[in-house]
Structure 1
Amino acid sequence: MSCGKPHDTDCSEVLAEVWLFLDNECDEERRKVLAQHLDECAPCLSEYGIDEKLKKLLGKKCSGEVAPAGLRDRLRQQIRTAVLEQAQVTVEQTPTGTTVEVRAARVERRTLG
């Protein structure tokens, strides 16, 4: 998705990470980038609002019920994997460190003038 306006962060990138934003699962720097985009982009803010309402509704309807820790961990990992696949990012943990590979080219549009 793209609203057609130039942003530092592409709309599809923001929407791929909106659940991480809602769950406070992204680092502070990334959170600021996503928040700035949502402040500037009405279509993304609208989509964020829908997701936020859905999350609140699920929380309300499922309140009092706690999923087992193993299930929560598996779901969290599956969501992260899906988000990374959608963003075409591979993260590999090795004994010497972490390797991150981004397969999609990021295109930044700037207006000259």
Structure 2
Amino acid sequence: MSCGEPHETDCSEVLAEVWLLLDHECDEARDAQLRRHLDECGPCLARYGLEEKVKTLLTRSCRGEHAPATLHQRLREQIRATVLEQAEVTVERGPAGTVVEVNQTRVESWKS
């Protein structure tokens, strides 16, 4: 997806990382970069808002019931993998850090 406007960060990157942003799993620099994009891009902000509502609904629906930590982790990994696959993003983790690629283009590398 792209809104057609030039941005520092491509729309597909932002949408691929929406759940990382919602789950506060981005470092400060990446969080700021993604939020800057959301401030500039209405379609991405709308998608972020939808995902935020889904997360809120899931939280409310599951209140009081706690799934095992292993199930929680497996679901999070599967959701992340599905989102990244749909956005044609690959994530490689190695001893030198993590590399995120969008459409076979190196986007970012950071050390875990």
TM class, shorter-length: 0.7 to 0.9
Higher relative contact order (CA 8 A, sep 6+): 1
Q: Structure 2: which amino acid aligns with 1:25?
A: E
How far off its partner does 1:89 sit? 2.3
Query: Mind listing any 5+ residue stretches in structure 2 that lack a counterpart?
Result: 108-112
TM (normalized to structure 2)?
0.78
**Cα deviation, residue 25, structure 1:** 1.2
Cα separation, 2, equivalents of 1:2 and 1:36: 16
CA distance in 1, matches of 2:44, 2:89: 20
TM-score, normalization: structure 1?
0.78
1:10 equivalenced with 2:16 (yes/no): no
- Judged with a 3 Å threshold, the aligned counterparts in structure 2 of structure 1 residues 64 and 21 are, in CA distance, closer, same or farther, namely same
Which protein is bigger by CA-based radius of gyration? 1
Distance 1:37 1:6 in 2: 10
- Which SS does the other structure have where 1:8 is aligned? coil
> Structure 1: where are the runs of 5+ without partners?
108-113
Write out the 4+ residue segments of structure 1 that deviate beyond 4 Å after TM superposition: none
**Alpha-carbon distance change, 72 to 106 in structure 1, aligned in 2, over 3 angstroms:** same
Distance 1:11 1:101 in 2: 14
**Correspondence list, 1:90-101, <5 A:** 90-93=91-94, 97-98=95-96, 100=99
Q: Deviations over 1:84-106 (max 9, x none)?
A: 4444324143xxx2363736226
Q: Establish whether residue 70 from structure 1 lines up as the match of residue 79 from structure 2.
A: no
Q: Percent identity among equivalent residues? A: 58
Cα deviation 1:24-76 (Å, max 9, x = unaligned): 11111111110000011111111111111111111111111111011112222
Q: CA deviation at 1:82?
A: 3.5
Contact 2:19 2:80 in 1 (8 A): no
